[in-house]
Amino acid sequence: RDPLKYAEIFRIASVHPAVTPWMRFACRAESINGRRRAKGANMPALADELDRLVQAAGSELTNSSHKYLLLGGILWNVALVRRGLRRYTDAATAQRQSSAWYGLAGDVPKQLTGIFAAQVEDVTASFVSRSHAAIVLSIRALNAARDHVANTLPEYPAWMKDNACIHIAW
């Protein structure tokens, strides 16, 4: 329940000599995630740190489903940080990248959830632009993305159950 203690635990684990390269990156990602959740977090610094982590993990880890899942998760957090910084178009891009990595890993529910989440960011960006046509188009696309997720998967993902209606209603 304490995000900074959570972050510290993962920071310590990330430098343990017995940790594999993949686990080192996963621990670093969770340390950043903990700091992201802390009150008064330095979001611009975290955004930069997450961007560097994506680049390093992408180039240093060998291609595998573990790498793809890790990059999908890191980019999900990149999107959350960018949203917090009100960089909605950048958040949408990060969600689409997250979705692509989850797709490579074969995690179709997270892949499709990422497509929906990217569209949520596009809706927000359209409201910021104050373009009535863009707002209408993006909301229609959001509803279509929700329907696509609902009709493609045998079970509606938990994140969608908890969040899709909230985003659409907003």
List the end-to-end C-alpha distance of the chain, in Å, as a whole number: 28
Q: Which two tokens stand for residue 136?
A: 């209408």
Average pLDDT, integer, range 14-31: 96
What does the pLDDT look like over 129-165, one tens digit per residue? Answer: 999 999 999 999 999 999 999 999 999 999 999 999 9
DSSP 8-state symbol, 40: T
Give pTM, 2 decimals. Answer: 0.92
Identify the three-state secondary structure at position 169.
Answer: helix
